[in-house]
Amino acid sequence: MGNPATSSAVTESAELVLPWLPPQDLAAAATACRALRASASAVTARRAADAARGLEPLPIPFNNGVDSKPYAYFLYTPFSLTARSSSTAQPWGCSLDRPPGPAWPRPTLDGFPSAVCGCACSADECGGPECACVDANADAAGLGAEGGMGSLMECGGGCACGPSCGNRRTQRGVAVQLRVVRHLQKGWGLHAAEALGRGQFVCEYAGEFLTTEEARKRQRLYDELASAGKLSPALIVIREHLPSGKACLRVNIDATKVGNVARFINHSCDGGNLQPVLVRNSGSLLPRLCFFAARDLVEGEELAFSYGDARLRPKGLPCFVEA
Ligand SMILES: C[S@@+](CC[C@H](N)C(=O)[O-])C[C@H]1O[C@@H](n2cnc3c(N)ncnc32)[C@H](O)[C@@H]1O
């Protein structure tokens, strides 16, 4: 394509279209002409620079010193959605400036207006003795019992306080520096890109909320694809137990196709360095799974937790613990 005017028209259109394409189609488009090849490689570079595609407060880059994969492809959501409300396409790698972080307020998923339920504190009063949204059972770090799943209560959509409230520390997106690093045997993994203090909030496990029937159906398919090495499934099942030990609530979150950076957290056989915590917003029925630093972490450390009986790693696959 010799004509500079034609070439610039192709580049302009490419800027609009290419960010919508999945990797295979992007690669195919790149073979069409030189202008498209240049635009496609710019899209690839921008994708590799931010797994969160501008939807978190800080970019989360991919880092691959192992093979030629520049990034992992999935649709990004900073918070969980019902499967019905999640989209099937999303642009990624546009040349426009990043939009601001997650939208406020976050959607309520329970189907009921939560305006009747919540505290009446102003933002700087929340968390005090008068606040109805304080979890009296959380320990000093707010993480609950060591070793198991912690629990925490935060202000919700019906509370009078706003986004800056101190009792919403898991609701402002991923505010610590992270990167997604390629490993030889485990695929991608999530790493701290700065030192983190014990108890610091890292990220929520966001994805599609599924019914148990849909989760079982997808799990069967994922197990098959994973056994053939064609997929890294990220469907997690959380069971909230009564003190009697009987399961009382099952929450299925699938981050395989629509999710956030937590989908890159690998399994650790020794418990890992992340503390999983079930966070419930005032007035909200469904808990959210959030991860906090279980101890002080150094820059570069891989973040991991024990999948336990969560069916994230299909049976029969080996567990690697390389750094
Ligand atoms: C939630 S994903 C984690 C991110 C994944 N490594 C990737 O590349 O997208 C879970 C999958 O990662 C792999 N995985 C996680 N922890 C592992 C480990 N310790 N050893 C081997 N594979 C692991 C398994 O394929 C598992 O199904």
For the beta carbon of residue 97, count every other beta carbon within 10 angstroms: 7
Q: What is the pLDDT of residue 141?
A: 47
How much is the CA Rg of the chain, to the nearest whole Å? 21
For residue 15, give both structure tokens: 């800027």
Least confident of 58-67, 136-145, 196-205: 136-145
C-alpha distance across the termini of the chain, in Å = 48
Residues 80 and 88: their CA atoms lie apart, in Å, by: 15
Closest CA to 200 of 105, 264, 117, 296: 296
Ranked by mean pLDDT, which of 10-24, 175-189, 240-254 comes out on top? 175-189
- Which range, 8-22, 31-45, 205-219, has the best average confidence (pLDDT)? 205-219
ipTM for the assembly: 0.98
Binned at pLDDT 50, 70 and 90, residue 112 comes out as: very low
Torsions phi, psi of 253, nearest 5?
Answer: -120, 120
Give me ligand 1 centre to Cα 290, in Å. Answer: 18
| DSSP 3-state of 249 | strand
Residue of 48 and 314 predicted with greater confidence = 48
CATH superfamily of 53-113+136-157+170-305: SET domain (2.170.270.10)
- Distance from the CA of 313 to the center of ligand 1, in angstroms? 6
Q: What are 268-302's pLDDT values in tens digits?
A: 988 899 999 989 888 887 889 999 999 999 999 99
Segments making up each domain of the chain, as ranges: 1-49, 53-113+136-157+170-305
* Binding-site residues, ligand 1, Cβ < 6 A: 72, 186-189, 226, 232-234, 263-264, 266-267, 312-314, 317, 319-320
The pLDDT of residue 320 is: 64
Could you give the CA distance from residue 122 to residue 18 in angstroms, rounded to a whole number? 46
Kindly indicate the confidence band of residue 44, based on its pLDDT and cuts at 50, 70 and 90.
Answer: very high
